[in-house]
Structure 1
Amino acid sequence: MTEAAVNANGHDASHVTTRLDAVVIGAGVAGLYQLYRLREQGLSVRAIDAASGVGGTWYWNRYPGARFDSEAYIYQYLFSEELYKGWSWSEKFPAQPEIERWLNYVADRLDLRKDIQFGTTVVRAQFNEATQRWLVTTDKGELIDTQFLVTCCGMLSAPHVSFPGQDTFEGDLFHTARWPKQPVSFAGKRVGIIGNGATGIQVIQTIAGEAGHLKVFVRTPQYVIPMKNPKYGADDAEAYKSKFKHLTERLPHTFTGFEYDFEHAWADLSPDRRRQVIEECWEDGSLKLWISSFAELFFDEAVNAEISEFVRGKMRERLKDPKLCDLLIPADYGFGTHRVPLEQNFLEAFLRPNVEIVSVKTNPIERVTPKGIQMADGTVHEFDMIVLATGFDAGTGALTRIDIRGRDNRSLREDWSRDIRTTMGLQVHGYPNLFTTAVPLAPSAALCNMTTCLQQQVEWIDDCIKYMRSKDLKVIEPTRETEDGWVAHHDETANATLIAKTNSWYLGSNIEGKPRRVLSYCGGVGAYRQKCDEVAASGYQGFAMH
């Protein structure tokens, strides 16, 4: 090695085992594409992933019922028509096994596996100020010296588990985001499931018919939309593949990166026409009502109240039982201010004699015991199996679980424990040559068809590195002033929405002590892309480069 034996940060450089141009953390949707792009421009690059295979979210989340709620034909890479048309989906919203197969198809078509290190966790990354490069440490004891570090860890990838006593449970206990590969049988078993967000809903509706007795612990009821999931034959596949050019032009510029977008202004329509639009969106059996009916539902309390009551009415028609309605239909927040799940007979699961609801709003879970779950009032519910659908430390958790150290040994974990800040969700002041995807203050943190937003971020990062190499520049970092400006713009945009007034993981309020900030940029996917493009066109104004 050419470095001094011991560098300025105290690392013994003689232990460096590999020298690279770039390290990509993660081999999911973003990581695969980032690896491909950086490799195409001639960099020596390696992707590192804790899993044994590719897929990211779609590798880990193999719980019963896991599936898309973006239409399959838009949840795809759009940089290659050949890659796009070489895969055919079996239905509109495919399940996890098919999604995982698709990502393996991508890895094989692009010959990516040779540059992916599986079964490995990045535990530490330190910016070496003497060499202006990153030193990345893995759990295998390897120390990698790299110019660029790109995180593609996913925004929902750090499982949130928070009940004392879990290790004492004598039955089987699973978190949905770390589901075993081998089949799990629920037949005849007493099953408890904690959580009824998008993941919990998919599990509940899938296992209700199999479990001997299912108890669902519910704190916050959810607005839900019934999914319509037609099968795709050869003609259907040909039809959506024929739209490839349209999709490449359309998706990057809509509000949420979906094919559909807001087309109506509430004030321009009569009450009858508004109702007609709402009904049409509902009947689509997709997320259309949420992200393509009326943009005003995000900003105007009166509009939101009317649409919320429409959804409540649809849910009441199916549940009928007043007690179930009280427990499963939201009353204290508006439609669309939380993540909106699609479902398939979720509500009907609670009409089954073997399914029971336990409300934890006024009697929370205190701990897990050897036999089951103990409530605050001392009641113990006994189970053979417990399923934790308790969500994630969204946006930040995947990175704060790595010891990332920037200039002056500053800690990203400590910085984000005080204030969650980024520059456009692409870099963080104080961490030179660290590029990020799917972190806070960009649409990819929540409000986006993920492939649309992740592709855009990957391409911006790739173009930025290409620009630096063309100018023989070694280091890039956003200035403090640039980051302050973006945070202020983000907050102004977010705080104008009803999302900012509603407790949910969108604000990090599911994690005790997490700084409160809307995680996702709310200005729209198209507007965000335009701002990113303007930065690139200006020669990365606001970013210090040398």
Structure 2
Amino acid sequence: MTTAQGSAPGAGAKADFDAIIIGAGFSGMYMLHSLRDKLDMNATVFEAGDGVGGTWYWNRYPGARCDSDSYIYCYTFDKNLLQEWTWSERYPEQDEILRYLEHCAERFDLKPDIQFGKRVVGMAFDDSTELWTVRTDKGDVATARFVITAVGALSAANTPPFKGLETFKGKWYHTSQWPHDGVDFTARRVGVIGTGATAVQAIPEIAQQAKHLTVFQRTPAFCVPARNGRVDPEVTKARKADYEGIRQRIKDSFFGFELSFLPKAVLDTTPEEREQEFDRMWDAGGFAFWLANYQDMFFSKEANDVIADYLKRKIRSTVNDPVVAEKLTPKNYPYGTKRQPLDTNYFETFNKKNVLLVDASTDGPIEEITPTGIRAGGKEHPLDIIVVATGFDALTGPLKKLGIKGRGGRMLAQEWELGPQTYLGVAIAGYPNLFTITGPQSPSVLSNMPVSIEQHVEWITECIAHMRRNKLSTIEATAQAQDAWGAHVAEIVSSTLMPGANSWYMGANIDGKARRFLPYLGPEGVSGYRRKCAEIADKGYEGFVFARQGQGGTMQPIAAE
């Protein structure tokens, strides 16, 4: 149900929907289920794609798979769903995750309330009616009391302004906008730009098919092995029997995994002891080396160097050519301060005769893309296909693209020019009744995403239920609470090594983007953040103000009845 294009509700107008949700991935699907089936609200979802899945709908590049263990990369709110679904691998591929989300959409009958193929291009809050008006690229104009963004943290693709890209006569693809029928690399000369987590997955797969692969690297990555494979049926059985315990442990953890830091400093260990621990984590694979290492790794450069040295030795022992090995060895940032890629034969791929590494710092950066290839360091590399694996305008990009206007016409994209300003990463001062699932300044990308998504959806659902019980029309974060939260986020991360890296966590991958730490890092990570959100709700939503209908613009605090 939408209003005619160009129409606007008058004073006292009834909204088309109680709530509009933007995006139909993990976040949007659970949000719809919660509002519609728990609160009996009239809710709709606008989804740009032609199906559910969010990131798993769009990212279909070779090797695309989850890098959280599958048994916790799923919804945990439904006990029966946990028991009935069985994953095939430790890290399932994109198509299996998409099948899971399709199964969930069918199981909870979500599709009738999702409007596919409609991208939100503008939304504005009306102070007089206290409603949001949302517009799509298909001409829809709809109003709602609440808007919940479920657009994901990594959904706004970053394609750097490469000189000459438009002149390239071959085919080029961004990894996050991959053709649904795939790409055939057989007998083709392929260039991959980027060596982040996505490229680390794609490069070994492309190298197996391409005639020749040239990898253009700006910053080398610390990688640890995924150790993917089939899960022992007895392990799966034990996990299904213990899902209550698993669910509680990941909620109470730092990063949303069944992982915790070693309770001592690496500098207090002997070389033999630490090497044994490193070997254990390396052999186990997955995020343990990153998220369950010695606790001083993120705080002490000396401690970090000890841990990084182990990974550098692994690179040098795996890559046959010592010159190539040195190019692939990170030297300019502390380990763990960039997104941790999990690899399967990534470094081994550079031992293949049909693979060439072009490193920006030693061979020269990309100068331009020509009609027949890429010129870097004064040398042209002839190519038939270019794969752009340059990541995303993380966390803020997806929200700024929605064209959000709050009270008095204030524009979010302009207000965030110097970095995001939120309260808890879930609300923004000046934007009433707008909730941002896993928004900037929340744990989001520094956690197992479904854990943080469920926490936000459940908190938002209870907040709206509180408003309905107390006949409240609007909720809005105060500027004071927002400023205090931003200062807290900055203070916490300033005590770590994280700001020392030019990472997308800091916004450093986008030219001109303000340098500010975008997610939230503790203390106590996911569990501490969860407790903080619960405490705020228990105190009558401390840091927020409510208004009753017709009080728009006054926003005086109102206690719950």
- In structure 1, the residue matched to 2:558 is none
SS at match of 2:88: coil
Q: Which digits, 9 at most, give the CA deviation of each residue in 1:152-188, with x for residues without a partner? A: 1000100000223323221111000000011311111
- In structure 1, the residue matched to 2:372 is 371
Q: Distance in 2 between matches of 1:305 and 1:234?
A: 39
Say which of 19, 24, 28 aligns to 2:25: 28
Q: Which digits, 9 at most, give the CA deviation of each residue in 1:285-332, with x for residues without a partner? A: 111010011221111111111000011111111114211122111012
Amino acid at match of 1:218: Q
Amino acid at match of 1:255: F
Structure 1 segments unaligned to the other structure (5+ residues) = none
TM-score w.r.t. structure 1 length?
0.95
162-171 or 99-108, which deviates more: 162-171
Q: Distance in 2 between matches of 1:71 and 1:331?
A: 29
- In structure 1, the residue matched to 2:273 is 273
Amino acid at match of 2:260: D
Q: Distance in 2 between matches of 1:406 and 1:421?
A: 14
- In structure 2, the residue matched to 1:402 is 402
Using a 3 Å threshold, how does the CA distance of structure 1 residues 153 and 104 change in structure 2: closer, same or farther?
same
Q: Distance in 1 between matches of 2:232 and 2:98?
A: 20
SS at match of 1:295: coil
- In structure 2, the residue matched to 1:212 is 211
Q: Which digits, 9 at most, give the CA deviation of each residue in 1:116-175, with x for residues without a partner? A: 111110000000111111000011111111000000100010000022332322111100
Equivalent pair of 2:262/2:292 in contact (CA under 8 Å): yes
96-105 or 378-387, which deviates more: 378-387
Q: Distance in 1 between matches of 2:163 and 2:428?
A: 34
SS at match of 1:37: helix
Q: Distance in 2 between matches of 1:366 and 1:165?
A: 9
Q: Distance in 1 between matches of 2:270 and 2:30?
A: 46
Say which of 107, 110, 125 aligns to 1:127: 125
Residue 432 of structure 1, CA deviation: 0.7
Percentage of pairs with the same residue = 43
Equivalent pair of 2:334/2:500 in contact (CA under 8 Å): no
- In structure 2, the residue matched to 1:246 is 245
Equivalent pair of 1:90/1:233 in contact (CA under 8 Å): no
- In structure 1, the residue matched to 2:541 is 540
Equivalent pair of 1:18/1:143 in contact (CA under 8 Å): no
311-320 or 284-293, which deviates more: 311-320
Equivalent pair of 2:506/2:516 in contact (CA under 8 Å): yes
- In structure 2, the residue matched to 1:200 is 199
- In structure 2, the residue matched to 1:344 is 344
Q: Which digits, 9 at most, give the CA deviation of each residue in 1:483-521, with x for residues without a partner? A: 011001100001111011111111000111111111111
Q: Distance in 2 between matches of 1:356 and 1:271?
A: 36
- In structure 1, the residue matched to 2:474 is 475
Equivalent pair of 1:30/1:455 in contact (CA under 8 Å): yes
- In structure 2, the residue matched to 1:430 is 430
- In structure 2, the residue matched to 1:497 is 496
- In structure 1, the residue matched to 2:52 is 54
474-483 or 261-270, which deviates more: 261-270
Q: Distance in 1 between matches of 2:68 and 2:288?
A: 10
SS at match of 1:466: helix
Using a 3 Å threshold, how does the CA distance of structure 1 residues 142 and 309 change in structure 2: closer, same or farther?
same
Equivalent pair of 2:193/2:390 in contact (CA under 8 Å): yes
Residue 343 of structure 1, CA deviation: 0.4
Q: Distance in 1 between matches of 2:279 and 2:347?
A: 19
Residue 414 of structure 1, CA deviation: 0.7
- In structure 2, the residue matched to 1:106 is 104
Residue 437 of structure 1, CA deviation: 1.4
Q: Which digits, 9 at most, give the CA deviation of each residue in 1:85-115, with x for residues without a partner? A: 1110011111111111111111111111111
1:88-237 residue pairs with structure 2 within 5 A? 88-162=86-160, 163-232=162-231, 234-237=233-236
Residue 421 of structure 1, CA deviation: 1.1
Amino acid at match of 1:354: N
Residue 18 of structure 1, CA deviation: 7.0
SS at match of 2:32: helix
SS at match of 2:386: strand
Residue 11 of structure 1, CA deviation: 5.9
Q: Distance in 2 between matches of 1:37 and 1:435?
A: 14
- Check if 1:38 corresponds to 2:38: no
- In structure 2, the residue matched to 1:439 is 439
SS at match of 1:273: helix
Q: Distance in 2 between matches of 1:441 and 1:504?
A: 16
SS at match of 1:209: helix
- In structure 2, the residue matched to 1:384 is 384
Q: Distance in 2 between matches of 1:230 and 1:365?
A: 37
- In structure 2, the residue matched to 1:521 is 520
Q: Distance in 2 between matches of 1:390 and 1:257?
A: 26
Amino acid at match of 2:297: L
SS at match of 1:395: coil
Q: Distance in 2 between matches of 1:415 and 1:196?
A: 32
Amino acid at match of 1:495: S
- In structure 2, the residue matched to 1:509 is 508
Residue 472 of structure 1, CA deviation: 0.5
Amino acid at match of 2:139: G
- In structure 2, the residue matched to 1:13 is 9
Equivalent pair of 2:60/2:94 in contact (CA under 8 Å): yes
SS at match of 2:16: strand
Residue 273 of structure 1, CA deviation: 2.8
Q: Distance in 1 between matches of 2:424 and 2:32?
A: 21
Structure 2 segments unaligned to the other structure (5+ residues) = 548-561
SS at match of 1:196: coil
Equivalent pair of 2:65/2:94 in contact (CA under 8 Å): yes
Equivalent pair of 2:156/2:397 in contact (CA under 8 Å): yes
Residue 57 of structure 1, CA deviation: 0.6
SS at match of 2:85: coil
Query: Alignment RMSD, CA only?
Result: 1.9
Q: Distance in 1 between matches of 2:32 and 2:185?
A: 39
166-175 or 343-352, which deviates more: 166-175
TM-score w.r.t. structure 2 length?
0.93
- In structure 1, the residue matched to 2:457 is 458
Q: Which digits, 9 at most, give the CA deviation of each residue in 1:48-78, with x for residues without a partner? A: 1111111101111110000111100011111
Residue 438 of structure 1, CA deviation: 2.4
Q: Distance in 1 between matches of 2:141 and 2:379?
A: 50
- In structure 1, the residue matched to 2:555 is none
- In structure 2, the residue matched to 1:301 is 301
Q: Which digits, 9 at most, give the CA deviation of each residue in 1:217-258, with x for residues without a partner? A: 001000000111121354343222122111111001111001
Equivalent pair of 2:15/2:131 in contact (CA under 8 Å): no
Amino acid at match of 2:438: A
Residue 278 of structure 1, CA deviation: 2.2
Q: Distance in 2 between matches of 1:38 and 1:66?
A: 31
SS at match of 1:79: coil
Q: Which digits, 9 at most, give the CA deviation of each residue in 1:374-426, with x for residues without a partner? A: 33x54332211000001000001111111100011111111111232111100
SS at match of 1:417: coil
Equivalent pair of 2:476/2:545 in contact (CA under 8 Å): yes
SS at match of 1:24: strand
- Aligned residues between the structures: 538
Q: Which digits, 9 at most, give the CA deviation of each residue in 1:20-51, with x for residues without a partner? A: 01011011111111111111211100111111
Q: Distance in 2 between matches of 1:308 and 1:174?
A: 33
SS at match of 1:441: coil
